[in-house]
Structure 1
Amino acid sequence: MSVFCGVVGLSGQNVEREGLDLEKKFVDQCTEKQITTKINVGNVVVMSIDIGAHSSQYDENDDIITIIAGDPVVREVSDDVSADLNLLNSASNEELLLALLMKSRGVFAGISINKVTNSVYIYTDKSGIRPIFYSINNDVLIFSSLMSVIQQTTLISLEYDELGVLETMAFGYCLANKTIYKNIKRLNQGEIISLNERGLEFQTYWDWSNVSVDKNIDIPNMYKEFKEAIALRSEGKEKAVAFLSGGMDSRAITAQLNESFDELHTFNFATERSLDGECAKLFAEKAGIHFHEKTFKELAYPNWGQLIADGIYEKDLGRIKKVWSGDGGSVGVGCVYLDDKMITLLENNEIDTAIKYFIHKTKSNIPENILLRTQRKDAMSRFIDGIRKEFVENKEDPGKAIYYFLMNNDQKRHLQHHFETICEHEIEFLLPFFDANFLEKTYSTPIREMLYHRVYCKWFDFFPASSRSVPWQTYPEHIPCPVELPEGLSNQWSTTRKISLNTRWFDVKSYLSIKNKDNIHLVMDRNKLMIATVLHILFVKDYSHIFRKIRRLK
């Protein structure tokens, strides 16, 4: 299964009419694809569209019906997701279902309907990577793995959340369970909605802050868990397709895949004459891997799923629906965005100073100078307060608070655009860096040991020799690559930005395409934006940073 949505009558009422409304919007948002599953049981209507990446079967006569988007990886041996569905369909009560969810390792979202106990359970994975959005209105719960479906339905009236809009401009995503709408929320990591004889409940079945920090870092076991994460997601051994950048994350994955699969095809999408493309190519040649590259003059805000779907088609690789991706490695293991100063501030309990330093370091500020006067008054204090609420205390390792913040927010939302457009590109990502058992090892590692890719580099030493024999890209201020890098090539972290007329016109066009959206003018001064636009296009002043933030609202 890939995407699903549904409605539940919270008082046991029939919701067939609401289901028909939702069905129309669901099909519209899924590029007119055919609904493959529709279930109407009592006060529940659920429907799904299957792109064929993971096989799925159900029998409407079963006592328990489970629909899954993604792959839960509850199984203990390599197999298809259908093995997990069988396990979930055997969970005859809430206790057994929760036990399976706590055992899960994958990236997934799902709904289980128990017709015997008249219970409904809606849940997401331990890190909340696979989204579920929901809204409660007029005693009806509406939910969907696609936010656009709930946005478009007539069952709710939308109202913008000012803080959600500000957070999206600053980070590119909202914090916690917020969206840019007050009445649409997103399930948090390890969260489950239950509707049973007790009524409607929100529970947390998994909490990463409960993982104890262990000063004895077991790097060999980290490597073992990662290998196992890949093995459990490997269906067959004939052909695999993976992203291959010039960095360490995708190389770690492809090095393992190269030992397991008969045929491995890798794709690189980079700008012209870049370290990313050259380092990827050098490794592919050394490892004897099929390498396909496509270069661009600029590569801003791409849809990676669509890029690789097009690449698979152009290279005539057959019906490939699952692609290996290194998402999650740089933040989860390499601790990018963090440094010693930030950790020291947290260890000294200087939380607000640490937050302000993080905002400055990551350029995640809100554009106060062009906000409405009513917003400027307390926008920054509300913004910082929202961040502070996401800093989970860890008495064993106070610096870990910023790691929780990034994993529970930045990483949780990192692939939202990919999942939102999955009906267009029809690609499921296989994400071993988000494997829950592997993540337990990173959550248990002291934060200072993880900074600057310290633990990552020690872990990387366990990988096949070919992965370390040719150069790779490294982050600024992180442990440098010990192999000499090619000269005269650009890297993705270059601070210089060519300010051309085309660049500025792209900024302005991006704004003009969304300037009539209410969410912008809910917080931003229309007149000041117009002045900034004119000054920007005339080269009087560079407002690129403002337009980058505005684009995030598109």
Structure 2
Amino acid sequence: MTLIAGLFSRHADTPIPDSACNELAREISRHSQDRVEMFRDRRACIAKVDVGAFGEPAWLSNAGSVTAVAGCPLIGGTDARQARSKDTAAVHECASKGEWGLLAQTRGVFSAAHYSPGPARLILATDRLGVRPVFVWVGDQLVAFASQLRLLEAMSIVPKEMDVRAVTEMIGLGFPLADRTPYSGIVLLHAGEVLSVTDEAVVRHRYWRWDDVAPSSRSVDELAKEAYRDFEGAVRRRLGGDRTTAAYLSGGLDSRAIVAQLRRNDARVYTFNFGLPGTLDDVLSTEFARLIGTIHERGKREPTDPQWSAMMASCWTATQRRANNPAEHPGLVWSGDGGSVSLGHVYLTEPLVAMLRAGDQNGAIQKFLERQGASVPRRLLKPLVAQAVKSVLHDGIREELERLRGSDPGRRFHIFLMLNDQRRHLANHFETIDLHRLEFQLPFFDGRFLETVMSAPLDACLGHRFYMKWLDHFRAEVKAVPWQAYPGHEPCPLPMPAGTTSQWEQTHVARLRAGRRRQAIERGRRVLSAADFPEAIIERNFLRLTTLLYRLGIRDYRSVMRAAHIYYSYYSASGGRYRLPQA
């Protein structure tokens, strides 16, 4: 299954309106050739679309009850495809009995919906990290849920009111924190969460908590070896019997590790890189592809904000070389998402961890925000709004940290990053999956692998140190070609190829900046000319001035125009209704 959405009546005497079900069927996919399948009775309406990436739908209907699974839980079986029907049946049984222990053993990225008619009950569940999203609105009479936020946006029965706090977090951090979404009243389920709705109550509980993973007593070397075995198994389980597949390949280590394991399993791999020509990202990926023996192509990178999934879909579909050796499941593509944060601990530094352990949580949060360049352009906002959001980034992180348990404040901060940054990391991929039609294979988000990593001593993990011990267990060719390392982390000991530069050096950044500049100016103009300009939120004169100064090249105000565009988008979608943070 790719997309799931539905409605549930909270009361036996309140049937679901036909108009709402028809609206759901119309909106669930933007692809004209998709076939929408529906389950419906008086209390529930569940729609699903499957793009066919896994080759087998995950849908079970029995005696008036139904279970739909998006993604692949990987509970049992030898590989992802063969286990799909068994996993769906297992989820169905768990939901029917209300027993969730089996989900705590899942290794995959998935979401699930279950409905049973007697007594009427709706159950929604996320994977252990919550990577596969489930958005939920609970009204007095009805509950609506969907794999994509846009589906709840499109449902007329779901009221829309902009949550200014959540939108400000999106602007400053790139994503809302906790279970917030851009709309008050719509939530994103947490990691490892089950939501159950009956006539009597709406209950949310966590069947899995990453802060309950106990520190291991084993040595770091033993844990690195165990993490390698877990990763090896994660790739093998997902690959199954496929002999040909496709993968991203950058100049770093995350995608390289995946491709190396695929080749070790004798898979024919088509690899794609989207770095700027002549950069290290481009040159190193090409050299490693030549060494490891993949069929490599350079994709064209967009000059504006890159849409990685759409770019891959376009290149993978267009390549003519795949015709001679077609992939068994061309809709499945391997991605290294999650490696740098989960295993490399990139956002944690020794000074930051020291501050946390010394009890200076507020100072550590401030240091983190400064390092990330996370801020809110308060001069863009009306005084009342600016005052209301002045500390939302800091407060949101503090609240998330205080919800976590565990003895090491440093590890808690890492878990905070996993439950927020990484949980939302693929939001755009899933929000547009009906258009690009690719499912990602994500071994760095494998449940068993993450358990091992989280049990390792935090200090041994900082700066990619545990990562490099883990990498020692790979075949020698993985470290035979130079790679791009993060500044301040374990360096690459090999010399870089002559004549190459980082894609972040000024000459290459300038090539991207021109396209982004045009995009930012257009966004500023569009907001300024909007008939429903958010007068209650944004200072029009400040936006007009910054747009002019940026257009004249006097100062870079792209972040201001981006913020204005985001505030306006959700303000407009909410019909001008908004809610400020509580004092």
TM-score of the superposition, structure 2-length normalised? 0.89
Moved more, 51-60 or 230-239: 51-60
Quick one: which of 231, 237, 243 aligns to 1:238? 243
Equivalent AA in structure 1 for residue 110 of structure 2: F
- Match 1:459 to one of 465, 470, 481: 470
Q: Deviations over 1:435-454 (max 9, x none)?
A: 11111112222222211111
Gapped runs of 5+ residues in structure 1? none
Take 1:119 and 1:137, find their aligned partners in 2: how far apart are those partners?
Answer: 15
Question: How many Å separate the matches in 2 of 1:504 and 1:463?
Answer: 42
For residue 484 of structure 1, what is the aligned residue in structure 2?
Answer: 495
1:445-472 C-alpha deviation (Å, 9 max, x unpaired): 2222211111001101111111111111
CA offsets 1:229-275 (integer angstroms, 9 cap, x no match): 11111132321111111110001100000011441111111112111
- 1:32-74 Cα distance to aligned partner (Å, 9 max, x none): 3444321113411100011001211545444642101111111
* 1:66/1:85 contact within 8 Å kept: yes
Contact 2:211 2:412 in 1 (8 A): no
Structure 2 CA distance, aligned partners of 1:347 and 1:174? 26
Q: Does the 8 Å CA contact 2:15/2:42 hold for their aligned counterparts?
A: yes
The answer for the alignment partner of 1:505 in structure 2 is 518
1:546 aligns with one of 552, 557, 560: 560
C-alpha separation in 1, matches of 2:24 and 2:496: 53
Name the aligned partner's letter for residue 230 of structure 1: V
Cα distance in 2 for partners of 1:498, 1:420 equals 30
Closer/same/farther in 2, CA of residues 493 and 337 from structure 1, 3 Å limit: farther
TM superposition shift of 1:193: 0.9
- Give the match for residue 356 of structure 2: 346
Q: 1:213 to 1:522 in 2, by over 3 A?
A: farther
Read off the aligned partner of 1:39 and give its amino acid letter. F
Q: Aligned letter for 2:296? A: F
Partners of 1:338 and 1:518 in 2: how far apart? Answer: 42
Partner of 2:203: 201
Letter in 2 for 1:507: A
SS of the equivalent of 1:72 reads coil
The residue that corresponds to 1:328 in the other structure is 338
Q: Structure 2 stretches of 5 or more lacking a match?
A: 570-583
Q: Which residue of 2 aligns with 1:140?
A: 142
Give the aligned residue type for 1:482: P
2:282 aligned residue: 277
Query: Which one of the candidate residues 326, 349, 368 is aligned to 1:358?
Result: 368
CA positional deviation for 1:535: 1.1
CA distance in 2, matches of 1:440, 1:521: 48
1:419 matched to 2:430? The reply is yes
Q: CA offset at residue 294 of structure 1? A: 2.0
Q: What residue in structure 2 maps to residue 69 of structure 1?
A: 70
Match of residue 575 from structure 2: none
Tell me, in whole angstroms, the C-alpha distance in 1 between the residues paired with 2:96 and 2:117. 11
Q: Distance in 1 between matches of 2:230 and 2:362?
A: 36
In structure 1, what is the equivalent of residue 32 of structure 2?
32
Matches of 1:175 and 1:519 in 2, distance apart? 26
Distance 1:408 1:494 in 2: 32
* Contact 1:162–1:523, Cα closer than 8 Å, also in 2: no
Q: 1:522 to 1:492 in 2, by over 3 A?
A: farther
Contact 2:169 2:392 (8 Å CA) reproduced: no
Aligned counterpart, 1:44: 44
What displacement does 1:18 show? 5.3
Q: Which shifted more, 50-59 or 155-164?
A: 50-59
The answer to whether residue 457 in structure 2 is matched with residue 443 in structure 1 is: no
1:376 deviates by: 2.5
Report the alpha carbon displacement of residue 5 of structure 1 after superposing the two structures with TM.
0.4
Q: Secondary structure at the match of 2:176?
A: coil
**2:294 alignment counterpart:** 289
Alignment of 1:88 onto 2:91? yes
- The 3 A distance-change label for structure 1 pair 552 and 322 is farther
2:268 matched residue in structure 1: 263
Measure, in 1, the Cα distance between the counterparts of 2:120 and 2:545: 59
Aligned to 2:393: 383
Q: Which moved more, 1:302-311 or 1:159-168?
A: 302-311
**Does the 8 Å CA contact 1:237/1:261 hold for their aligned counterparts?**
no
Q: Distance in 2 between matches of 1:519 and 1:347?
A: 46
Residue identity matched to 2:554: V
Q: Where do residues 118-133 of structure 1 align in structure 2 (5 Å cutoff)?
A: 118-133=120-135
Residue 159 of structure 1 corresponds to 161
2:29 aligned with 1:17, yes or no?
no
Matching residue within 548, 551, 557 for 1:537: 551
Q: Is the 8 A contact 1:270 1:299 kept in 2?
A: no
Q: Give the TM-score taking structure 1 as reference length.
A: 0.94
User: Using the alignment, how far apart are the partners of 2:177 and 2:141 within structure 1?
Assistant: 26
> What CA RMSD, in Å, does the superposition of the two structures yield over aligned residues?
2.3
Deviations 1:521-549 (A, max 9, x none): 55432221111111111122221333344
Aligned length: 551
CA 1:115–1:377: 2 relative to 1, 3 Å: closer
In the TM superposition, residue 514 of structure 1 has moved relative to its aligned partner by: 4.6
- Secondary structure of the corresponding residue to residue 104 of structure 2: helix
> Which amino acid in structure 1 is aligned with residue 243 of structure 2?
E
Q: Distance in 2 between matches of 1:135 and 1:288?
A: 49
- Between the aligned partners of 2:231 and 2:118, the Cα distance in structure 1 is 39
CA distance in 2, matches of 1:476, 1:157: 46
